[in-house]
Structure 1
Amino acid sequence: MKQGLVLDKVVLLGRTLEEYRRYFALDLEKFRGKAILDVAAGVSSFCAEANRLGVNVTAFDSIYNLSGDEIRGRCEFDLEQVTQVIGNLKTYRWDFYQSPELLRRFRERAYRAFLDDYRAGPGTRYVPGRLPKLPFRDGQFDLTLVSYLLFVYEDQFDYEFHKRSLLEIMRVSRGEARLYPVVTFEARRSQYLDRLKADPDLRHLGFEEVQTDFEFLANSNCYLRVFKSGQSPQLFVAQRDREP
């Protein structure tokens, strides 16, 4: 019997810029004038918030061919379903969010900020589509981020999907990609992680698991950094993660 959050689909829950900073150890000051791609961004407000700070972020998700009202209805339903059960699960650490109600407020703040920007912002900022294909040029982005899709939904997406998605993500990235988390909803390390590292079709890529100071889903205190072999290590990591 599964011990963690049981989902039969990818739920539509938004995350804030502050959460992205913690997930990926981001120092956004170093990304002014740079291009970031947020894959499977959903209703997260990172794109809206970061663009206001002068960082060029493009969000990519299959929901961006829907209206704002349709998206709102879906994410409110998913948020209600998850909030009802998550407080009873032993696979979560509540140091940051404190309670399911405060978690709900984070998620509501994120999707409302997203919807305001989605309805008013330039159409080119929110690009519809679905992995494992990305409608972007080779090397278009300095950094690509993926949160809460790969690895965590291991039961819904097979190894081939992960592999093809990663190859496509790295095709459009002239810098690096960061994927968070690398555990499943049962809080165990994804079985695909070591397979990807050992796959001969990915031998041109380097992999590094980078520790962070954030852990909500148990054991989710690191992200996977993926880079092209020979690339210099982490140019844009927040200062706190370089300190001993």
Structure 2
Amino acid sequence: MKFIYHLLLIMILFNYSCKESKTEQKAIEDQKHLSERSLEKNNEYTFRLPDLEKLIDKSPILKAEGFGNENEELRFIFGDIIILSANEKLSYLNLLPKTTEDNSYIIHLIIQDLKDNSFKIAKQWVIELDNSDSSTLTDFYEKNKIEIAKIFKNENLTFLSNKISFNSYDAIKNIQLKYNYENTEQKEITEITILNKKQKLSNIQISKKTLCPECDSLVIYKGDYLGSISLANNNKLLILGLLEQVSLSPSALHIRFVRL
């Protein structure tokens, strides 16, 4: 009788332990997806670019510039981008690739006019690496959304109300890029012309600070498209990946959007 009693007690404790474990696991999963869900409340959306390293691997031009060999984990220095608005103007948070040894990194809020591809840096934040409250760009956005909303109000911008779709590299192989270089040993790109079956679609120039304004005097020496995104207003934006020369370290990747 005692044996049966102990056996029942063990079974009850085991079942309780399993339920507690499942409850804790669910809490972890809920926390993991909290940011994604909270960004879509009130019919507001964001769009985060797919894994940049995987996008680069689709481009023979950029993949050939990878630092080291294919067995090494770090081949490029990446940042991160989250699109917040995409009507007549494209607005996005741009976490810059960290190329310095200091204890901080930089986030820009960029507003780009889709009529002429020109843009401005509406706000810059310098974030200390030991600031655990802003460990990812998604976390940063959630914690600074009120400030960003005020900037949007002053700029007459609205947050995304429709989802953005991504088109892979292979789906837009009819696009061609033509580069103009400054006549120096560094082979710095001064202009990129975007062509579709030899028909000119657009061009962007360093002289107008439309290629990589946050790069200042740094050299952009390689570039290729990584795919495109389609917006709800039927606009399609080409995603350009631009490589900055970084001395004695992997190349830093900068992202630029160009209306097709």
TM bin (shorter chain): under 0.3
> RCO higher in 1 or 2 (8 Å CA, sep ≥ 6)?
1
TM-score normalised by the chain length of structure 2: 0.24
TM-score normalised by the chain length of structure 1: 0.25
Structure 1 or 2, whichever has the larger Rg, is 2
Bigger helix share: 1
Bigger strand share: 2
